[in-house]
């Protein structure tokens, strides 16, 4: 058996995904309220508070600029949280995965199901912000709907990366490193709060090597009434991070749990 076998993909991930959806539905009302409440707060506090100072960014009012950024960062945060804290709880504390392994499900199905679930939650929360943005008149036209599949892919990417961290984690404390060393820098460097052009070239180059900026580069034009450019390039970066994340996470988790 090779050290890093490829994940065996199968539709058997669906019952794993459906299990998580079923749990989510039980706490749907507070979940949805959270999905709406937080972004509204962010938009109002940052947009009105900060936006007054900043004024417009080129053609865009700051609120409009910010709304599209927050859609992307929320996808990243939601998928990362789900792939770490929630998935780790199911793996390690609740033994939900052990129960699944007693059924005709393989670890590969579970990992894929968890990552796609993380992507789904990213879609829920980013979708809620889209609705809020639309209500506040921060969206130009129906092109914004095309952001949704991009968000789903981004959620898969960040969920898969988070699953690697889960695979090597011995406790919840470990997740803080990933947030401090990866998620937060990505949030600050990827053009969510201010344009990338403000950064020194070297820092901007680093940002381009990370996935979040590529999500922003597609989603922002779609929400502000323009067509994004270099879409295949941006999508490829997001997809490669996602697939590498899935492969590495599956291999590490097999080594951890199927020994």
> Which positions lie near other proteins, rule CB under 8 A?
1, 15, 18-19, 22-23, 26, 94-96, 98-106, 258-259
Enter the DSSP assignment of 172: T
3 state DSSP class of 139? coil
**Cα(33)–Cα(14) distance, rounded to whole angstroms?**
26
In the complex with other proteins, the residue whose CB is nearer, 105 or 167, is 105
CB of 155 to other proteins, least distance (A): 21
In the complex with other proteins, the residue whose CB is nearer, 27 or 145, is 27
CB of 96 to other proteins, least distance (A): 6
CB of 26 to other proteins, least distance (A): 7
CA distances from 252 to 100, 120, 157, 187, 245 (A): 18, 23, 17, 26, 10
In the complex with other proteins, the residue whose CB is nearer, 96 or 166, is 96
In the complex with other proteins, the residue whose CB is nearer, 19 or 234, is 19
CB of 207 to other proteins, least distance (A): 38
Contact 135, 63 (CB under 8 A): no
CB of 20 to other proteins, least distance (A): 9
CB of 30 to other proteins, least distance (A): 14
Contact 257, 18 (CB under 8 A): no
Query: Cα dihedral sign for 17, 243, 81, 123?
Result: negative
CB atoms within 10 A of CB 39: 23
Contact 159, 118 (CB under 8 A): yes
194: tokens are 């201010």
In the complex with other proteins, the residue whose CB is nearer, 94 or 229, is 94
138: tokens are 């921060």
In the complex with other proteins, the residue whose CB is nearer, 108 or 217, is 108
């Amino acid at each position: 058996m090779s050290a890093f076998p490829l994940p065996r993909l199968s539709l058997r991930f669906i019952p794993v995904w459906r299990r998580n959806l079923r749990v989510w539905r039980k706490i749907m009302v507070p979940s949805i309220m959270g999905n709406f409440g937080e972004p509204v707060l962010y938009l109002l506090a940052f947009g009105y508070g900060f936006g007054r100072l900043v004024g417009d960014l080129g053609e865009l009012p700051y609120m409009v600029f910010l709304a599209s950024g927050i859609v992307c960062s929320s996808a990243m945060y939601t998928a990362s949280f789900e792939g770490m804290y929630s998935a780790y709880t199911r793996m390690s504390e609740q033994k939900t995965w052990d129960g699944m392994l007693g059924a005709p499900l393989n670890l590969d199905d579970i990992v894929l199901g968890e990552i796609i679930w993380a992507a789904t939650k990213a879609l829920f929360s980013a979708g809620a912000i889209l609705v809020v943005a639309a209500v506040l008149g921060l969206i130009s036209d129906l092109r914004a709907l095309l952001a949704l599949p991009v968000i789903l892919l981004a959620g898969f990417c960040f969920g898969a990366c988070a699953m690697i961290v889960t695979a090597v984690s011995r406790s919840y404390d470990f997740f803080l490193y990933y947030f401090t060393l990866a998620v937060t820098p990505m949030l600050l460097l990827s053009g969510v709060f201010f344009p990338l052009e403000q950064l020194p070239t070297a820092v901007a180059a680093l940002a381009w090597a990370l996935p979040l900026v590529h999500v922003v580069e597609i989603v922002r034009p779609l929400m502000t009434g323009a067509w994004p450019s270099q879409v295949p390039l941006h999508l490829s970066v997001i997809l490669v991070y996602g697939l590498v994340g899935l492969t590495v996470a599956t291999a590490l988790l097999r080594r951890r749990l199927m020994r």
